[in-house]
Structure 1
């Protein structure tokens, strides 16, 4: 699991995607959900090293990457 101390470091999610941890929000609510369906949940924001679309993953599904930079 990653924490705010890992922000800016290379990490890997459970599906094997590697990226840079941008943020960890413990009480994130998805703004795309209807207001009555929103629920607070911890979320990690990951960004591909070479650019691209950021993706969201529960922090328990992310670990520091063992791959060299």
Structure 2
């Protein structure tokens, strides 16, 4: 039997500065992404969290993507 879709959903957080940063500023190519869960009932809007970006080697804003 399949379970009902729960309240908690898996989301992906992507670095906002990696997309606009040039290659000379980055330590390695690519975009920093984290996966996490959020409660759909408590947090209806998209998440924005400060997290560490290993490509830029600093704390940056990570936004929820689809």
TM-score by length of 1: 0.30
The higher radius of gyration belongs to 2
TM-score, reference length from structure 2: 0.31
Higher RCO (C-alpha under 8 Å, 6+ residues apart): 2
